[in-house]
Chains A and B, each alone.
Chain A
Amino acid sequence: MAEMKDIVLQYVINEYLEDEDEVLSYDSPLISGGIVDSFSMVSLKRFLENKYKISIPDDKATPEAFDTVNKICALVNEYLK
C-alpha cells in the first residue's frame, strides 16, 4: 500500500502539478483543490487501470473517490485481486 501511494503521488506530481513549489501529501485535495480537473481525471483513471491491471467502473470514478491519493489507493485496492 505504501509503495502504491508513492507511485500514485509521484505520478500526480509529474503529470498534473503546475506549481513546482507546491508540496503534495497523500491527503492533499486533488480534485477539489483544482490540481486534477474532471477531464484530466480520465487520464489518471487510465493510468491506474494500466498500472494495476484493473478496471474501475465509471460510476465509481467520482470526484470524491479521486480527491486524495489515500482515497485513490483505497479505491484501487477494492479492484485488486
Chain B
Amino acid sequence: MSNIGSYEERIKNFSWEIAEKELDYKKGDVINIGWHCTDRICQMGKANKTALIWEGHAGEEKRYTFDEIRKATNTIGHFLRDLGVKNEDRVCLFMDKIPELYLGFLGVLKIGAIAQPLFSAFGDESLFVRLDSAKTKAIITQRKHVGKVRKLLDRMPSLEHIIIVDHDGLKPLKEREIAFDLEKAEKIDKFEIYPTTAESPSVLHFTSGTTGLPKGVKHVHYSIMSQYLTAKWVLDIQDSDIYWCTADPGWVTGTSYGIIGAWSNGATQCVLDAGFSAEAWYKFIEKNKISMWYSAPTAIRSLMKAGAELVKQFDLSSLRHLASVGEPLNAEAVIWSEKVFGKPFYDTYWQTETGSMMLTNYPGMKIKPGSMGKPFPGITAAVLDEKTFEPITEPNKPGLIGFRPGWPSMMRTYWNAEETYKKKFANGWYLPGDKSTIDMDGYYWFVGRDDDVINTAGHLVSPFEVESALLEHPAVAESAVVSKPDEVNMEVVKAFVTLKPGFEPGDDLELEIMNFIRKKLSPLAMPQEIEYLDKLPKTRSGKIMRRMLRAQEWGQDIGDTSTLDDD
C-alpha cells in the first residue's frame, strides 16, 4: 500500500494540518529543520538507524546513524556559533557532495543562520555575484575549491570566515581561513538549538532569470511541511526504504529532497560523490539495495544511451519506486524505464521558488507518459490565459501555469529584490514562468518556458549572465545567447558573437571562449557551440532579437521581422 493511498480521497480531505500533526507542530511552536531532521528522529526511537551511506569516487565509504548526524550537526553548529555566526547570518556551503555538505546544511540551520548552498562547479564570478548579493558571512568549503574563494577576498569584505573542512596542514592557511575537521572535532551531544519559528528564514538558493543577476530565493523553516509530506506521498518513502536522490545540494532538489524530505521522514539515504557513469550508478544501486530512486531526465537519457544490455549485468531488483525532476521527462524515457527496470519513472514538476513538488504523478495513479501529472493535494493550479491571467477551461489549450500562493514551502521573497518578487504574480496567481496544457482528465503537459531562460540538464542558465561574461573576453564585441536542442540535456547553451577588429574566427578561439565562460561562470553556462556572425540581428532600437536566433536553432518560424534593422 502506498503512503498516499487514494489521490482522489486525499484531494477531498486535504489540509496542511496533516503534515503539522505528523511533525508534532502547532501554530506558534518553535520549528527548526535541523532539529526535525535529526533530534526528532532520534526521539522517535530511530537513533541507531542508518541515516546516511556515503560513497566517494575512489570507493571510500562512510556511514552515519541518526544519532551520529544529530551530534555531527550539533558539532558544526557549535563551531559556527563559536566563530560568532549568529541567527540569520548567511553561511555558504560550497562543497562537493561530501558528508560535511549535508551535515553542514543542518548545522547552519540549527543555529538559526541561513544556509546558502552553491554548486561547487561554479566559477569565481558566479560565486562572487551570489555571495555579494547575500553578503555572506562565512563559507564552508574544501581545499580544492578555496582558490576560487581567495580570488574574491578584496571584493568581499563581509565574508569574515572561510572554513576549510579538509585542510591537511601542508600549506599554511591564508587570510580569514580556519580549518575544521568534523572527524576529529569533539562531538557535541547536548546543544541549544536556536528557537526559529515558522517564518524564520532557512535557505537561500539562487536561481537565474532572463535579465539581471541571479536572485536569492528565500525559504523559511515552515517549508518542511511541504517537503516532508511530498516526500512521503509522492516519493512514497517508507521506513524500510533505501533512498537515493541523485541531485547536488547546490540546487534545490538536493536540499528539499536530498536532505529535508528524506531525513524528516527518517529515511536511510545514499549519496554517491562521483561523476556520472551508467555502470557506476547501477553498481551503486545493486550494492546498496536502493529501493526509492529520485533522479533527473538528463541522467535517465544518459542511461538510455548506455543501453538496455548493461542493465542486465546488475541485480536491480531492489528498486521499488522511481521518480524524476529537473526538466520534462519525455514519454520515451518513461516507456524505456518500464521496459528495463520493470517500473516507470514518475515525473514531478516544481522549481526553486516553489520549494517542493507542485504537479506530480502519484503511486497508484495512472501514468500518462510525457505528462507532469496532477496538482499535489492542497495546491490550487491552473493554466492561465496569457493576457487576462484567467484560468483556461478549454482542454488542451496552452497557457501559463499558475499556482494560488499559500503552500508552506512557497518562497517568501527574492533576497533584496521585493519588486522582482511582486512581478511573479498576476491576478492572484504565482507564475513559475512555464507554459502547459491540461487534458480532459486533468493531467498537465509541459509546453515550454515563457521566457528566454535556458533549462540545461534541469538547471536554469540566464542568457543575460552568459552574454555579459562573453563581453569580458577580449575578442568579443557583441554576443547573443540562446538555447539549442540537445538529445540528452534537453537544451544547451549556444552563443552568437561578433568579433572586435584584429580577431579572426576560428576553432581555437571558439575553444578559448568556451573555456573562458566555463571557468568564469560554470560548465553548465559554457556555450557548447559558438557561431561567429558579422552582425547580430537587432531591432531598429538596437535590441538583440534573440527570438530569431532561437527559432533558427529550433527549426521554428522566425515570426514577425518587421522591426528588424536590416541596414
User: Which residues of A are at the interface with B, using a C-beta cutoff of 8 A?
Assistant: 15, 18-22, 29-40, 42-43, 46-47, 49-50, 59, 62-64, 67
Kindly state whether residue B507 has any CB partner on chain A within 8 Å.
Answer: yes
* Neighbouring A residues of B515 by C-beta, 8 Å: 15, 43
- Quick one: CB contact mask for B274-318 with A, threshold 8 Å, 1 for yes? 111101100000000000000000000010011000000000000
**Choice from A21, A50, A67 contacting B171 with Cβ under 8 Å:** A21
**Choice from A22, A29, A49, A62 contacting B144 with Cβ under 8 Å:** A22
* Neighbouring A residues of B502 by C-beta, 8 Å: none
Kindly state whether residue B508 has any CB partner on chain A within 8 Å.
Answer: yes
A12 to chain B, nearest CB (A): 12
Kindly state whether residue B58 has any CB partner on chain A within 8 Å.
Answer: yes
Report yes or no: A38 in contact with B514, Cβ–Cβ below 8 A. Answer: no
Give CA–CA (A59, B515) in the complex, Å. 22
Q: Give 9 closest A-B pairs by Cβ, nearest first.
A: A19-B144, A39-B523, A31-B275, A40-B523, A18-B144, A50-B507, A33-B57, A32-B275, A43-B514
Tell me the count of chain B residues lying within 8 A, CB to CB, of chain A: 34
**Choice from B96, B280, B302, B510 contacting A32 with Cβ under 8 Å:** B280
Query: Knowing that A21-B170, A43-B518 are A-B contacts, what are 19 other residue pairs whose CB atoms are under 8 Å apart, sorted by A's residue number?
Result: A15-B515, A21-B171, A29-B57, A32-B275, A33-B58, A33-B274, A34-B275, A37-B523, A38-B302, A39-B528, A40-B518, A42-B526, A46-B510, A49-B507, A50-B507, A50-B508, A50-B511, A62-B305, A63-B275
Within 8 A of A (CB), among B328-347: none
A11 to chain B, nearest CB (A): 10
- Quick one: given A29-B57, A33-B58, are A38 and B507 in contact (CB under 8 Å)? no
A-B contact pairs, 11 of them (CB 8 A): A18-B148, A21-B170, A22-B144, A33-B58, A38-B302, A43-B515, A46-B507, A47-B511, A50-B507, A64-B279, A67-B277
Report yes or no: A34 in contact with B273, Cβ–Cβ below 8 A. Answer: yes
**Choice from B58, B276, B508, B511 contacting A38 with Cβ under 8 Å:** B276
- Quick one: CB contact mask for B57-83 with A, threshold 8 Å, 1 for yes? 110000000000000000000000000
Report yes or no: B508 in contact with A37, Cβ–Cβ below 8 A. Answer: no
- Quick one: CB contact mask for B398-426 with A, threshold 8 Å, 1 for yes? 00000000000000000000000000000
Q: How many A-B pairs fall under 8 Å by CB? A: 77
Report yes or no: A63 in contact with B276, Cβ–Cβ below 8 A. Answer: yes
User: Which residues of B are at the interface with A, using a C-beta cutoff of 8 A?
Assistant: 57-58, 96, 121, 143-145, 147-148, 170-171, 273-277, 279-280, 302, 305-306, 456-457, 507-508, 510-511, 514-515, 518, 523-524, 526, 528
A45 to chain B, nearest CB (A): 10
* Neighbouring B residues of A47 by C-beta, 8 Å: 511
Report yes or no: B147 in contact with A36, Cβ–Cβ below 8 A. Answer: no
Give CA–CA (A32, B55) in the complex, Å. 12
A18 to chain B, nearest CB (A): 5
**Choice from B57, B170, B171, B526 contacting A34 with Cβ under 8 Å:** B57
- Quick one: given A33-B57, A47-B511, A50-B507, are A38 and B275 in contact (CB under 8 Å)? yes
B349 to chain A, nearest CB (A): 24
- Complex: chain A residue closest to B459, CB-CB: A39
* Neighbouring A residues of B508 by C-beta, 8 Å: 50
- Complex: chain B residue closest to A19, CB-CB: B144
Give CA–CA (A38, B528) in the complex, Å. 11
- In this complex, which of A15, A39, A40 has the most chain B Cβ atoms within 10 angstroms of its Cβ? A39
* Neighbouring A residues of B528 by C-beta, 8 Å: 39, 42
B147 to chain A, nearest CB (A): 7
* Neighbouring B residues of A20 by C-beta, 8 Å: 147
- Quick one: given A34-B96, A43-B526, A46-B514, are A18 and B275 in contact (CB under 8 Å)? no
* Neighbouring A residues of B121 by C-beta, 8 Å: 37
Give CA–CA (A71, B121) in the complex, Å. 24
Report yes or no: B523 in contact with A33, Cβ–Cβ below 8 A. Answer: no
* Neighbouring B residues of A30 by C-beta, 8 Å: 275
Give CA–CA (A30, B147) in the complex, Å. 20
Give CA–CA (A32, B284) in the complex, Å. 13
Report yes or no: A31 in contact with B276, Cβ–Cβ below 8 A. Answer: yes
A21 to chain B, nearest CB (A): 7
Give CA–CA (A36, B523) in the complex, Å. 9
Give CA–CA (A18, B95) in the complex, Å. 12
Give CA–CA (A46, B527) in the complex, Å. 12
Give CA–CA (A19, B120) in the complex, Å. 13
Give CA–CA (A40, B147) in the complex, Å. 19
Report yes or no: B143 in contact with A31, Cβ–Cβ below 8 A. Answer: no
- Complex: chain B residue closest to A63, CB-CB: B277
- Complex: chain A residue closest to B170, CB-CB: A21
B218 to chain A, nearest CB (A): 28
* Neighbouring B residues of A50 by C-beta, 8 Å: 507-508, 511
- Complex: chain B residue closest to A64, CB-CB: B277
- Complex: chain A residue closest to B456, CB-CB: A39
Give CA–CA (A39, B276) in the complex, Å. 11
B516 to chain A, nearest CB (A): 10
Give CA–CA (A29, B121) in the complex, Å. 17
B179 to chain A, nearest CB (A): 15
Give CA–CA (A21, B166) in the complex, Å. 13
Report yes or no: B279 in contact with A33, Cβ–Cβ below 8 A. Answer: no
B125 to chain A, nearest CB (A): 15
* Neighbouring A residues of B457 by C-beta, 8 Å: 39
- Quick one: given A39-B526, A46-B510, are A19 and B274 in contact (CB under 8 Å)? no
A55 to chain B, nearest CB (A): 11
- Complex: chain B residue closest to A40, CB-CB: B523
B525 to chain A, nearest CB (A): 9
* Neighbouring A residues of B143 by C-beta, 8 Å: 19, 21
